[in-house]
Amino acid sequence: MIQIGKTNPLTIVKEVDFGLYLDGENFGEILLPIRYVPAAYTIGEKLEVFLYFDSEDRLIATTLTPLAQVGEFAFLNCVAVNQAGAFLDWGLPKDLLLPYDEQTYRPEVGKSYIVYIYKDESSGRIAASTKIRDFVDEESLGEFTVGQEVELLNANKTDLGYQMIVNNTHLALLHKHEVLQPLKHGERLKGFIQNIRPDRKIDLCLFKQASDKTDEVGEAILYKLKTNKGFLPLHDKSDPEAIKAMFGVSKKIFKKTIGSLYKQKRITIEENGIRLIQIAT
């Protein structure tokens, strides 16, 4: 089924001077303008194209990839504001409209905002909304399992930590003790489901909880070092709770592991933490 606002595999049906016509099924033939036509193609071949309405409200295809598609969240820059609403750069020639009715605040040109991209059911047009909570669930009803890797988008900073949009469908909490350095608003990163609470709310972490096996713990430590500029403010004299919060293991296992990494010349142990030894390539 053809989906407007998403990437679709469409069949080339004919060639014209100004591009290619693709089989849009119930939408009829859809133009792929000549500037997007690949160097080599054959009639009957399928092309992966994104479908949207151009500046003249014609349904067209493009081989460009937008920053996000319908059903997804994105952190987009505001490029214009007028009586219709705000307009956001989403990587296509026609900017994305953020209607006034879908604004929780008034966007300013030059600033970026987290929005949900949707297709208006009455008009069929693609638009954006800053009403994040209208498009996410805050409770898990079996969609996730503890330890599952997920895609995160930093939506908001709170006293407890960061509210993260998870897989474009849920809102969850990344506790501040799980983060070694401040995260940028709109930053994308990978994370893991740490816990699903009795109230079905979701807690997150930025690394997979290791088991008590030192080799697995060692891999977790090295990964964390690599993603934090080669340094962690933990060492053999750190508070056990801080160690457990970060790696999910006892201080005894942590000390044993960093001792092993030190002997392997993978890390150095400093007064205020551990540092990754960069291996020359």
Domains located in the chain, CATH noted: 7-62 (2.40.50.140), 73-133 (2.40.50.140), 149-205 (2.40.50.140), 214-276 (1.10.10.10)
Look at residue 211 in the predicted model and tell me its pLDDT. Answer: 52
Given the DSSP bridges, would you call strands 59-62 and 126-129 parallel, antiparallel or unpaired? unpaired
Contact (CB, 8 A) for 78 and 109: yes
Comparing 56-65, 215-224, 254-263, the range with the smallest average pLDDT is 215-224
Tokens found for residue 225: 């070092």
Q: Quick one: pLDDT at residue 176?
A: 86
More confident residue, 187 or 215: 187
User: pLDDT band for position 280 (50/70/90)?
Assistant: low
Chain mean pLDDT for the chain: 91
> Who wins on pLDDT, 42 or 216?
42
| Partners of residue 29 on adjacent β-strands | 23
Give me the pLDDT at residue 248, please.
75
Report, as an integer, the average pLDDT of 7-14.
96
Query: Which residue has 């990437």 as its token pair?
Result: 7
pLDDT digits over 118-156, tens only?
Answer: 998 888 889 999 999 999 999 988 899 988 999 999 999
The arithmetic mean of pLDDT across residues 149-166, rounded, is 96
Closest CA to 217 of 203, 207, 232: 207
Confidence of residue 62 (pLDDT cuts 50, 70, 90): very high
pLDDT on residue 227: 87
- DSSP state string for 89-158: E-SSSSPEEEEGGG-SS---TT-EEEEEEEE-TTT--EEEE--GGGS-BSS-SSS--TT-EEEEEEEEE-
Taking Cα atoms as reference points, which of 150, 147, 146 lies closest to residue 164?
Answer: 150
pLDDT of residue 50: 97
Instruction: List CB contacts of 113: < 8 A, sequence separation 6 or more.
Output: 75, 76, 78, 88, 98, 107, 130
What is the mean pLDDT of the segment spanning 170-192?
A: 89
Name the token pair of 42. Answer: 């054959």
Report how far residue 176's alpha carbon sits from residue 267's, in angstroms, rounded to the nearest whole number. Answer: 25
Q: How far is CA 65 from the centre of its chain?
A: 15
Average pLDDT of span 166-187: 90
For the residues 69-79, what does the mean pLDDT come to? 98
Whether 246 has a pLDDT exceeding 50, the answer reads yes
Identify the pLDDT of residue 212: 47
79-118 pLDDT, tens per residue? 999 999 999 999 999 999 999 999 999 999 999 999 999 9
The whole-number pLDDT of residue 142 equals 86
Strand partners, 80: 87
Confidence (pLDDT) at 57: 85
Task: Using alpha carbons only, give the angle 252, 256, 258 rounded to the nearest 5 degrees.
Answer: 115
159 or 279, greater pLDDT: 159
What share of the chain in percent tops pLDDT 90?
66
> What residues does 191 pair with on adjacent strands?
150
Residue 213, pLDDT score: 56
